Structure 1
Amino acid sequence: MNVAAVDCRPRQGQIVRVLRGRDAGQFAVVISFEEPHFVFLADGDQRKFDHPKKKNVKHIQLINYVSEDVAEALRQHGRVTNAKLRYALNQYLLLSEQKGE
């Protein structure tokens, strides 16, 4: 898992915070894109990989953290396990707690 350079476009495997809608305040992982304005998000718990949430990029906050495990699984196999999504989110949350964010 890596901290990514700041970029205005989301990347596969990137952690985001949902700003609008029913899931506001929750974290999720970018699974795929629908150009030019939408991303598909999953967290492996409420939103499984098989049923990701379609969100406008204006309604998410990009976090400067990309799970390389998730990104690599998506590149190689085109899918990722829900357990790996939950693990990536938990690793980010533990890291952010240690930093005191």
Structure 2
Amino acid sequence: MSDSESTPQIGQIVRVLRGREVDQYSIIVGLIDERFVLIADGDKRKFDRAKKKNIHHLELINYISPEVKNSMEETTRVTNGKLRFALTKFLNDSVIDRKKGEQIDG
């Protein structure tokens, strides 16, 4: 298992597995300790009201948004627009990748 899969990182995309926001994607905007992180999506869950989440309730996606990571490193903040942009970009890219790689029987 690579380091990025086992250790959550700032800017990493996650899929929520438990709770009210099941199957929604968010971005890690803060690390509390080895069990808890802060997540936000810039839309329903704004950066200023990031949600504390147990990492066992998240699927860590092997993708770190460079925009979010750089912004957090430079200013310790990220705009909600940048969070929405990073999630949209990731979701669009992953859908395109899936279409390229899978044969869909119709």
TM-score normalized by structure 2? 0.88
Q: Secondary structure at the match of 1:93?
A: helix
Gaps of 5+ in 1: none
User: Letter of the aligned partner of 1:35 in structure 2?
Assistant: D
The aligned counterpart of 1:43 is: 41
Displacement after TM superposition at 1:7 (Å): 2.7
* Residues in 2 aligned to 1:75 and 1:12: alpha-carbon distance in whole angstroms: 9
Number of residue pairs matched by the alignment: 98
Match of 2:58 among 57, 60, 75: 60
CA-CA distance at 1:100 after TM superposition: 1.2
Larger gyration radius, structure 1 or structure 2:
2
CA contact (8 A) 1:5 1:64 kept: no
In the alignment, does 2:3 pair up with 1:13? no
Judging by fraction of residues, say which structure has more helix: 2
Q: What is residue 29 of structure 1 aligned with on the other side?
A: 27
For residue 16 of structure 1, what is the amino acid of its counterpart? V
What per-residue deviation string (whole Å, max 9, x for no partner) do you get for residues 38-87 of structure 1?
00000000000000010000000000110011000001101000000000
Which secondary structure state, in structure 2, belongs to the residue aligned with residue 25 of structure 1?
A: coil
Q: Which of 77, 83, 97 is residue 79 of structure 1 equivalent to?
A: 77
Name the % identity.
45
RMSD: 1.5
Corresponding letter in the other structure for 1:30: I
SS of residue paired to 2:37: strand
Q: TM-score, normalised by structure 1?
A: 0.92
- Note the residue ranges of structure 2 that are not aligned, 5 or more in a row: 100-106
